[in-house]
Structure 1
Amino acid sequence: MTFSILARDAKTGILGGAAATGSLCVGGWVLRGAADAGLSASQGTAPSTLWGDGALDRMRGGETAESAVASMVSPDEGRDYRQLSALDLQGGTAAFTGAHSVPAAGSRSAPGVVVAGNLLAGEAVLESTLSAFLDHPGELAERLLAALFAGAAAGSDSRGLQSAALLVLGRDRAPLTLRVDMSDTPLDALRALYDRSQSQPYAGWCEVVPTLDNPHRAPLPEEFELVADQASGKA
């Protein structure tokens, strides 16, 4: 019902995830992340948000992605109807696809990136999503968006798409959490939302809010005036 990608930028340590589905609210259902823990994507016929949250908690406690996925999957009697992927802070990945997942279903991985999906038009969706991410130059968010568009072009969710989401996290930056919960063209809407987030006044505001590495950050007086002017349309 969904395809997703989780990745770590090896040069910066920034984490990012993206997902799209033929149902509503993929961001709220599937993607979980924290800059001090890692990323997870929990999806499937009967997805468990508990899996996604639990995997993050375990990675925050020091478990690898592989260990976190195994810990969440093994005690769950409904696991055959679920899918889970995870990425830890070191770029380690893991994925589980339940035996009763609606085909095409499965996962693909490369160093620092994992793709998963179910109810897909074909396994080419997984392969195209991964290849587009690996081949696309630029910043992590751009690569994740390119991966979603490539997966959609390769067949997508077999029902088409209704929602899409993008999540980018880092210790030294404000979190970027973008969600298109319902749209006839969710990838185009997500792309437009991302582009807007990189322009003023939003981009400037993100430069002065607290981060994990600078939890007390606030604008200098001259920076505050600039942000205020941009927000009011004076700059």
Structure 2
Amino acid sequence: MTVSILAFDKKTGNLGGAAMTGSLCVGAWVLRGGAESGLSASQGTAPSTLWGDDVLTEMRAGKPAALAVANVTAPDAGRAHRQLAAIDCHGRTGHFTGDLSVPVCGALEGPGVVVAGNMLSAPEVISATRDAYLGSTGAMPDRLMAALVAGARAGGDSRGLLSAALLVVSRSQTPLSLRIDRSARPLEDLANLLAAARTEPYWGWTRVVPTLADPYRAPDLVKTEPLPVPEV
């Protein structure tokens, strides 16, 4: 039902995730996280939003992603119908795929990245998504978009696509949380929304609101000269 990717940029410390599905509202259901906890992607036939929140709590307490995933999934009697991926603030990854997840299903890791999927058209969807991210350069959102596009071209969700989402978090920049909840062209619409988020006046406004690294930031405390497109 869903393809998701979670990634860590060692150079910037930014964390990013993206997802696409043949159902509604993939962003609200699947992606969660923050710069102090890491990111999670909870999905499946009967996805648990509780899993997505609980694994973040574990990682914020210092648990590595793989251990956090194991701690959250093990006690759940319904885990066979669910899937979970996570990445912590150090770029360590973990994942779980229940035995009753709808095929094609599974997960793959790479350096600072994990991709999970179920109800896919082909196994290559997962590897294509991961490899496109690892083989791309530039800002995190662009690499995540390239990964989703590659996964879709490899077959994507077996039902087609209806929604897509992008989440990037950082201590030094405002969160980027974009969602296309229902569309005949969710990836195209997500790319257009990303482009709009990088234009004025929205981009200028994000330069003056508080961040974790600068919690008291305000317009009269920030330099006004133009800044480049953010690395988020």
TM-score (norm 2): 0.95
Q: Specify the alignment match of 1:2 in structure 2.
A: 2
CA distance in 2, matches of 1:146, 1:74: 33
Q: Specify the alignment match of 1:63 in structure 2.
A: 63
Moved over 6 A (4+): 221-224
Whether the 8 Å contact between 2:208 and 2:222 is mirrored in structure 1 is: no
Whether the 8 Å contact between 2:164 and 2:180 is mirrored in structure 1 is: yes
Q: Does 1:52 align with 2:52?
A: yes
CA distance in 1, matches of 2:138, 2:214: 26
CA distance in 2, matches of 1:124, 1:58: 31
TM-fit CA distance, 1:94: 0.5
After TM superposition, the structure 1 = structure 2 runs for residues 14-29 of structure 1, keeping only pairs within 5 Å, are: 14-29=14-29
Provide the secondary structure at the position in 2 that maps to 1:161.
coil
Provide the secondary structure at the position in 2 that maps to 1:136.
coil
TM-fit CA distance, 1:166: 0.1
Segments of 5+ residues of structure 1 without an aligned counterpart are: 227-235
TM-score (norm 1): 0.94
Instruction: From the superposition, tell whether residues 113 and 222 of structure 1 become closer, same or farther in structure 2 (CA, over 3 Å).
Output: closer
Q: CA RMSD in A?
A: 1.3
Deviations along 1:76-104, one digit per CA (max 9) or x if unpaired, are 00000000000000000011000000000
Provide the secondary structure at the position in 1 that maps to 2:182.
coil
After TM superposition, the structure 1 = structure 2 runs for residues 1-235 of structure 1, keeping only pairs within 5 Å, are: 1-220=1-220
CA distance in 2, matches of 1:94, 1:206: 32
Instruction: From the superposition, tell whether residues 220 and 29 of structure 1 become closer, same or farther in structure 2 (CA, over 3 Å).
Output: same
Provide the secondary structure at the position in 1 that maps to 2:3.
strand
Whether the 8 Å contact between 2:47 and 2:82 is mirrored in structure 1 is: yes
Deviations along 1:175-218, one digit per CA (max 9) or x if unpaired, are 00000000000000000000000111111111110001111100
CA distance in 1, matches of 2:76, 2:223: 51
Segments of 5+ residues of structure 2 without an aligned counterpart are: 227-232
CA distance in 2, matches of 1:147, 1:76: 31
CA distance in 1, matches of 2:179, 2:173: 19
Indicate the structure (1 or 2) with the bigger Cα radius of gyration.
Answer: 1
- The percentage of counterpart residues that share the same residue type is 57
Deviations along 1:3-33, one digit per CA (max 9) or x if unpaired, are 0000000101100000000000000000001
Whether the 8 Å contact between 2:40 and 2:86 is mirrored in structure 1 is: yes
